[in-house]
Amino acid sequence: MHASRWIATLPLAVGLLALHPTTAAAQDPRLERRLDSATLQSVSAVIDSARLQGLPVEALVQRALEGAAKHAAPAQIAAAVRRLAMELATARQALGPASSPAELDAAASALRAGVGPADLTRLRHRRAQSLTVALATLADLVASGVPPDSAAAAVIALAASAGDDQIADFRRAVERDIALGAPPAVAAAVRVDAALRQTPGTPRRP
Amino acid sequence: MFDRDEDVLDRVIDQLRQPVEMDPTLDTAIMTRVAAGGDRVGRLAAVWEWAWRPREISVSPLAGLGLAAALVGIVVWLAGRNPRVGPPVAGPSTVQFVVVAPGAASVSLVGDFNDWDGAATPMHAARSGALWSVTVPLTPGRYRYAFLVNGSRWVADPAAPRVPDDFDAPSSVVTVGG
């Protein structure tokens, strides 16, 4: 079932990649001020397509502005925006159409870090509250060196009952342990077990 | 002295025994005023007097408890009719950013929250000149950012997670819950 869902995102991904610059419609004035005309057309086409798909576009605008601020090459900016659009599309496919822009943005970061879409879907099914902090924690743990599978297992285990504050505390504890020399996977495993012990009634880590 | 007082008393009595000259229209005027509002004023005065008259009321302990419970119930019901507490709305959180940049002439905070505008959020140096900081309000979400030192050098936040970089310059990320 999951495979068919990921296959369903392919047309969108192909569409985003194949968009011709002349398809761009309304252009964001912030982009008009900061990008040259060729880059502006290319980026606006991706943004327009994402908007048509119902994806949040502010993250795309910000990624283009980041590239402009860092004086990146036009092709680099366009590629970064295109890649983020595809990650947002995959994130929405994994999390569902009701996902908030903040959740999709965090999920795109997790995907970029190496977390699989199936783990995002498991996280959605496991947690009733907003996923923004849980997804951001997932991405941050992988960026800290925790293997994606270990990070996903830990966050999914916490997700059912832990609040955002507890999940953020868990991330800080893991990062502190890693900074003190602990192997990232071990730090995540030890800290999630400790966190689960502090949350009565929480099922053990899968 | 006693005789003088008696004389005075006699004169006063004589004076009081003199017939008093009354205005012939006085009776009519008084009756007109009474007919116009005397009854209403009298009733109001009676109600006022009744309301302020102290009295003893006997209430059994059980009836007293019942009355108190009824009062509490009314207060709770009134409060529930117009609730002032709605669903929680996530407002902005204040986040402080700090970076050590000794010898820097200027440091700016640049990120998703200010359209990556290097002039939008200048940071302020502490007295030593090495520690730069700024506080910004952020609504819930995940934000990429970096510090721009002297308008040209990008520095990631050593106290925050790094994010994969698309543009050959480091960036960090901060997540505000909500």
Taken as a whole, chain A contains a residue count of 206
B178 pLDDT band, cuts 50/70/90, is low
Q: What is the pLDDT of residue B151?
A: 95
Residues of A in contact with B163 (CB under 8 A): 109, 139, 143
Residues of B in contact with A72 (CB under 8 A): 166-168
Cα gap A27→A41, rounded to integer Å: 8
State yes or no: pLDDT of B40 exceeds 70. Answer: no
Cα gap B162→B155, rounded to integer Å: 11
User: Do residues B173 and A136 make contact, with C-beta atoms less than 8 angstroms apart?
Assistant: yes
| Contact criterion met (CB < 8 Å) for A143 and B161 | yes
ipTM: 0.80
When pLDDT is averaged across residues B93-113 and rounded to a whole number, the result is: 95
CB neighbours (10 Å) of residue B70? 10
Cα gap A173→A197, rounded to integer Å: 15
Cα gap B174→B137, rounded to integer Å: 12
Which of A31, A33, A35, A62 is the best residue to mutate to test the B interface, defined by the most B CB atoms within 10 Å of its own CB? A62
Residues of A in contact with B140 (CB under 8 A): 102, 130, 132
Q: What is the pLDDT of residue B46?
A: 83
User: Which regions in chain A score pLDDT beneath 70?
Assistant: 1-26, 200-206
Torsion angle defined by CA atoms of residues A27, B111, B173 and A95, in that order, rounded to the nearest 10 degrees? -20
Residues of A in contact with B175 (CB under 8 A): 106, 132-133, 136-137, 140, 168
- Between A42-46, A112-116, B110-114, B138-142, the lowest mean confidence (pLDDT) is in B138-142
